[in-house]
Amino acid sequence: MAAVLELPPLQQRKVAAIVGACVADAAAQPLHWIYNEGKMASLIEGKEEIEFRHPSANPFYRIPTGSNSCYGDQAYVMLKSLVESKGLDIDHLTKATYDFFGPNSSYESDETNKYLVGKEDKINIKKSLPIHGPWRHGCIKDFLANMYADKNPTGSETDDQIDCAIRVIPLVAMYAGQPDLLDKAEAALRVLQESDTSIACGLAAVRVLEQYILTGKPEDVLQKVTDTLNDPDRNCPQDLDRAVIGQLRAVVRALGTSHEVAVPKYFQKN
């Protein structure tokens, strides 16, 4: 900690973005994917601290408390690849992703393999759950299938979940303020996700995080990103940027509203 405080403020914020995401992911993992609101309420009732819960109450998978979920592991692989390659190297990132999540990894098991992409029923929990070991996300499963089939691009064409915004954090920390940030982010995102939604949302997240890293406390960050997405001369334009603008405006409307009220009121509940 002392060593980080000796860094210039910009470098401190870069470290904070990476470490903060890693710690937050691990802290939430034992309560991950609890879709039954009554169950969640009973688990946290009367508790001031719910982070790093032990034992885990995760209804889908069980790994040791303090471990990262597949979200955090994707960010770790990105960070490791950036360090080892001294920058973004798509071939290196692809191989690193395959090695970490592939057939010789801790993610390989009969339990996780039997749940097929798009077939998980996240509301009516199957009797065979939770599995004992890490859970492969849909984009990882599609990526591996594409690798086995020697298919390029390797990213999932259908998975449009939030993985895109998580794993790109180390890359934003490395390239924030550089003119090619968005180009590099898009290339990195497509290793695992090719869907239009994931790319548009992922790049919006990149734009938001970049402002926090560069300035610390940016004012009206969502409005600034909205204005950028409205700019016809913006970098890396996406077909769904208008839809992302709508989502950002919904977030602004929900500011000041509790999570429990805001999600069903302004957004679609899973």
How do residues 99-116 score in pLDDT, each as one tens digit? 999 999 999 998 888 876
pTM of the model: 0.93
The CATH class, in words, for 16-30+58-118+129-217 is mainly alpha
pLDDT at 260: 81
What integer best gives the mean pLDDT of the chain? 93
Buried (b) or exposed (e) across 82-112, using 16+ Cβ within 10 A?
A: beeeeebeeeebbebbbebbbeeeebeeeeb
Q: What percent of the chain has pLDDT over 70?
A: 94
pLDDT at 122: 54
The yes-or-no verdict on residue 2 having pLDDT over 70 is no
Which residues have CB under 8 Å from 86's CB, separation 6+? none
The yes-or-no verdict on residue 123 having pLDDT over 60 is no
The yes-or-no verdict on residue 119 having pLDDT over 60 is no
Tokens of 237: 């334009």
How do residues 176-232 score in pLDDT, each as one tens digit? 999 999 999 999 999 999 999 999 999 999 999 999 999 998 999 999 999 999 999
The yes-or-no verdict on residue 121 having pLDDT over 60 is no
How do residues 141-173 score in pLDDT, each as one tens digit? 999 999 999 999 999 999 999 999 999 999 999
The yes-or-no verdict on residue 61 having pLDDT over 60 is yes
Domain ranges of the chain: 16-30+58-118+129-217
pLDDT at 165: 97
pLDDT at 195: 96
Report the candidate in 94, 188, 100, 166 with the shortest Cα–Cα distance to residue 136.
100
- Asked whether the beta carbons of 189 and 226 are under 8 A apart, the reply is no
The yes-or-no verdict on residue 58 having pLDDT over 60 is yes
